[in-house]
């Protein structure tokens, strides 16, 4: 069939659609909502996967986290009658180094809340005591200045590295490197500024990841010697410093009107192993080691955030596939709708079909005419569906806090599937139209 006949058949199809625009739009509704649903679901799924990958970057790769906890006191117990545990200490960290000699990195983490001040501006910040390998383990980048040296770590030097929000609030428009910031009663020299880190609400709630941009990082020994070492503080001293201790909300735990004193020197120990395959085995070894050193008191928790996130990723992927399958059903329903409307259209236009055949049109011309109509309706539905799907993704992100990521491939695939659906479900009506007898068709009322 020559090129001119293709154009002629396309024009006939286009004229038929224009003369019944409202019906064509109604016919395309199934395709529109199907394509929009597929794009929106893929965008939400991609956004969820990106969020999980970002969370993996925040917690670091191949990390095991040992978090200190306060065991619950039984009603008949008090702090003096329970089993003794030294709590999570730097000695635990040194023991871990000996038991797991092939680890890539290890760092303590101590968290307290203090008032910081610089340039006459006050701010409430979390002071985080860390080791030298902490930033490498957690995949944090220092954009200004430098990291802690081994000398500064060992000698408990009064230095710090600040988050981006701290720089913006206390040193707006100024270079903070080399300047001083007062944390509690201690003056610290700023030697570095961390890169801006975006932390989602879900990461903060589900993984306990802080707003890293508002933190001030200092060597762990600096915090323990110059600011506070909970492991050395007596109960009387703790009571005398009750107001200051209230700033540390992370460990406040009440049981039948009793507040249990936080005796842990460290809040967390982060261990980075060489390979993902070593995570489970290493965490078991650490669990046995700590159980022995803490006299059987379970005042710590060993967790592997990466494995939890990977499991969560698998669950979300399965759920995303389910949503996409449901959305794909909408496309099939839309295709069936196109077929039904086209079959009805064939019945309504029997005279037109008979007239075209009587004037010399081939059966292939009739087939192409109705196929073109089906494909044009699908293309229109596909375009509108793409626009609607992208719009839904932006609305979900802007108003519902759902992270979405619209992929160009999801748009292309959804559009091609929509066109293919129209082509597939348009074949039956097109063939039925071509099989009409011209004489019978012309006599049809």
Q: In terms of domains, do 92 and 213 share one?
A: yes
- pLDDT mean over 347-373: 78
Q: How confident is the model at residue 378 (pLDDT cuts 50, 70, 90)?
A: confident
Q: What is the pLDDT of residue 234?
A: 44
Is the confidence at residue 82, as pLDDT, over 50? yes
Q: Is residue 211 part of a domain?
A: yes
Are 173 and 123 in a shared domain?
yes
Listed residues 298, 330, 363: the one ending a domain: 298
Residue that finishes a domain, picked among 239, 266, 298: 298
Residue 123 shares a structural domain with residue 157: yes
Residues 293 and 432 in one domain: no
112 and 159 together in one domain: yes
Mean pLDDT of the 96-108 span = 89
> pTM above 0.85?
no
The count of domains in the chain is 2
Residue 440 pLDDT = 62
Percent of the chain with pLDDT over 70: 80
* 349 and 240, same domain (yes or no): no
Do residues 211 and 343 share a domain?
A: no
Q: Is 390 contained in some domain?
A: yes
Higher pLDDT, 223 or 237: 223
d(CA 41, CA 407): 11
Q: Are 231 and 263 in contact (CB under 8 A)?
A: yes
Cα–Cα dist 355/206, whole Å: 69
What pLDDT is attached to residue 180?
95
| Distances in whole angstroms, Cα of residue 132 to Cα of each of 109, 158, 210 | 11, 14, 20
Beta strands in 96-185 (DSSP E): 105-118, 121-130, 142-145, 159-162, 180-183
Domain range enclosing 18: 3-56+311-443
Q: Which of 69-73, 300-304, 376-380 has the weakest average pLDDT?
A: 69-73
Domain contains 82:
yes
Which of 33-47, 58-72, 345-359 has the weakest average pLDDT? 345-359
């Amino acid at each position: 069939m020559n090129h001119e006949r293709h154009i002629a058949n396309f024009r006939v199809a286009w004229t038929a659609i224009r003369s019944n625009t409202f019906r064509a739009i109604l016919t395309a509704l199934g395709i529109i909502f199907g394509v929009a649903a597929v794009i929106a679901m893929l965008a939400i799924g991609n956004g969820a996967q990106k969020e999980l990958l970002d969370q993996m970057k925040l917690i670091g790769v191949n990390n095991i986290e040992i978090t200190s906890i306060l065991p619950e006191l039984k009603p008949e117990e008090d702090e003096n009658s329970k089993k003794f545990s030294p709590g999570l200490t730097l000695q635990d960290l040194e023991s871990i180094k000996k038991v797991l000699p092939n680890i890539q990195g290890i760092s303590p983490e101590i968290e307290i809340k203090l008032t910081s001040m610089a340039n006459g501006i006050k701010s409430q910040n979390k002071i985080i005591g860390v080791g030298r390998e902490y930033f490498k383990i957690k995949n944090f980048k220092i954009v200004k200045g430098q990291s802690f040296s081994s000398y500064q770590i060992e000698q408990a030097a009064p230095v710090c590295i600040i988050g981006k929000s701290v720089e913006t609030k206390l040193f707006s428009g100024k270079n903070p490197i080399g300047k001083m910031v007062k944390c509690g009663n201690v003056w610290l020299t700023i030697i570095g500024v961390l890169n801006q880190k975006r932390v989602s609400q879900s990461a903060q709630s589900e993984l306990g990841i802080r707003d890293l941009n508002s933190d001030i990082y200092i060597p762990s020994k600096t915090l323990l010697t110059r600011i506070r070492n909970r492991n050395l503080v007596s109960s009387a001293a703790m009571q005398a410093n009750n107001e200051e201790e209230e700033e540390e909300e992370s460990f406040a735990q009440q049981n039948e009107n009793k507040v249990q004193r936080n005796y842990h020197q460290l809040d967390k120990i982060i261990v980075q192993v060489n390979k993902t395959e070593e995570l489970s085995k290493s965490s078991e070894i650490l669990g046995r080691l700590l159980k022995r050193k803490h006299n059987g008191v379970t005042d710590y928790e060993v967790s592997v955030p990466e494995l939890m996130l990977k499991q969560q990723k698998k669950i979300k992927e399965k759920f995303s596939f389910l949503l996409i399958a449901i959305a794909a059903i909408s496309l099939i329903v839309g295709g069936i709708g196109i077929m039904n409307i086209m079959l009805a259209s064939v019945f309504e236009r029997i005279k037109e079909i008979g007239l075209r055949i009587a004037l010399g049109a081939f059966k292939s011309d009739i087939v192409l005419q109705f196929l073109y109509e089906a494909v044009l309706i699908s293309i229109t539905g596909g375009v509108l569906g793409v626009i609607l799907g992208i719009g839904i993704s932006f609305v979900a992100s802007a108003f519902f806090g759902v992270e979405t990521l619209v992929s160009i491939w999801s748009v292309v695939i959804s559009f091609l599937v929509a066109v293919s659906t129209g082509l597939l479900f348009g074949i039956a009506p097109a063939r039925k139209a071509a099989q009409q007898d011209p004489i019978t068709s012309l006599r049809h009322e």
